[in-house]
């Protein structure tokens, strides 16, 4: 049988443990899997692009478990009352190919993206960072703030979006979070000025310069999340030229990340190297650092592992017969015979 988690099941799981605890635990799962980097079969995601968005499949396997995520990115969906990003995923046994878990990943993708951002920032941002600018206040913004609150101790947030209603939504959703002060900035420049960490999570599929080089101050850490497909960027190339740049999986980030703007020889470090202590995340207090995050299948693999483990222990979700259970595994046709599908319908009369 396959454990099935729908949206409400994932919601119950998060509510039962608390969002900060889930973010911290999930960051731990992601760290553990990045530290097993060489164990995994890895590849850039398979993307099907259209004029209005993208649909992607994101697979990863450690030779014991296999996971994949189906995810979309359609910035115009919000105009039709639909989500910009939605996802589901499967976790399966490599030994048999049998699916262990079929789960909604829309909420969980938001969690894993934020958890990965905060995990990287722990190794890259200046010690004692407390002020963060958040540029783009859509669906991912609250998750990012909660992750940085829980894992780094961020206390002040300056939020900016070209749509004031999005910023109002963010402030309303997090109004009850103790010890967190959120202010609405009038511009990107106002939000960024004096911030320790700058998170960019805009949605438009465009080669944009959301943050310019002249806005950047010594010691800033930039968490660039919104640029996640070919032709979509948020940072000026001049920022990358001045910074230490860390990516999740270089082969994918060259195609989709901020570094798609740079020449092929532009030097970057992969996150697993930083987490394993093989490379520095920051060289000095004044160094500018960039986490060029596009989302990588290994993070979704970790998320599926996390959901499967927590759902089973909490008895959340239900088992479904996604794959036929047969007395004789060679007799698939017999499944139809047993259900009466062999009965031939009466011949239709012709006029």
> What kind and span of H or E run contains 117?
helix 106-124
Cβ(62)–Cβ(36) below 8 Å: yes
Residue holding tokens 């030229």?
241
How many other CB atoms sit within 10 Å of the CB of residue 194?
A: 12
User: Which residues, in sequence order, are bridge partners of residue 93?
Assistant: 65
Residue holding tokens 């499949």?
57
How many other CB atoms sit within 10 Å of the CB of residue 189?
A: 14
**Residues with catalytic annotation?**
228
b or e along 168-178 (b: 16 or more beta carbons within 10 Å of the residue's beta carbon)?
Answer: ebbbeebeebe
How many other CB atoms sit within 10 Å of the CB of residue 318?
A: 13
The gap from C-alpha 110 to its chain's centroid, in whole angstroms, comes to: 5
From first CA to last CA, the distance across the chain in angstroms is 48
DSSP-assigned letter for residue 40: S
CA separation for the pair 327, 337 (Å, rounded): 13
Cβ(329)–Cβ(279) below 8 Å: no
């Amino acid at each position: 049988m396959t454990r099935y988690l729908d949206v409400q099941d994932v919601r119950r799981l998060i509510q039962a443990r608390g969002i900060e605890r889930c973010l911290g635990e999930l960051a731990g799962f992601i760290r553990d899997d990045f530290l097993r980097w060489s164990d995994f079969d890895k590849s850039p995601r398979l993307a099907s692009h259209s004029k209005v968005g993208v649909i992607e499949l994101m697979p990863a396997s450690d030779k014991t478990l296999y996971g994949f995520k189906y995810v979309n990115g359609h910035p115009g969906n919000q105009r039709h009352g639909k989500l910009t990003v939605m996802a589901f995923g499967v976790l399966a046994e490599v030994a048999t190919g049998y699916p262990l878990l079929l789960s909604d990943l829309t909420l969980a993708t938001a969690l894993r993206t934020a958890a990965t951002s905060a995990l990287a920032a722990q190794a890259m941002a200046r010690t004692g960072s407390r002020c963060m600018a958040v540029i783009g206040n859509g669906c991912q913004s609250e998750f990012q703030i909660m992750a940085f609150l829980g894992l780094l101790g961020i206390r002040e947030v300056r939020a900016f979006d070209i749509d004031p209603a999005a910023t109002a939504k963010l402030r309303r959703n997090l109004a009850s979070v103790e010890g967190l002060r959120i202010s609405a900035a009038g511009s990107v420049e106002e939000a960024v000025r004096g911030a320790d960490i700058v998170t960019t999570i805009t949605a438009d599929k465009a080669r944009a310069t959301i943050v310019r080089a002249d806005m950047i101050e010594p010691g800033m850490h930039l968490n660039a999340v919104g640029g996640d497909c070919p032709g979509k960027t948020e940072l000026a190339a001049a920022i990358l030229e001045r910074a230490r740049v860390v990516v999740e999986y270089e082969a994918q980030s060259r195609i989709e990340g901020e570094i798609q703007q740079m020449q092929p020889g532009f030097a970057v470090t992969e996150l697993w190297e930083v987490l394993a202590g093989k490379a520095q995340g920051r060289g000095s207090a004044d160094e500018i650092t960039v986490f060029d995050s596009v989302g990588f299948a290994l993070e979704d693999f970790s998320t599926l592992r996390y959901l499967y483990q927590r759902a089973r222990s909490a008895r959340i979700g239900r088992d479904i017969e996604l794959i036929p259970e047969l007395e004789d595994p060679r007799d698939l046709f017999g499944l139809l015979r047993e259900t009466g599908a062999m009965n031939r319908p009466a011949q239709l009369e012709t006029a």
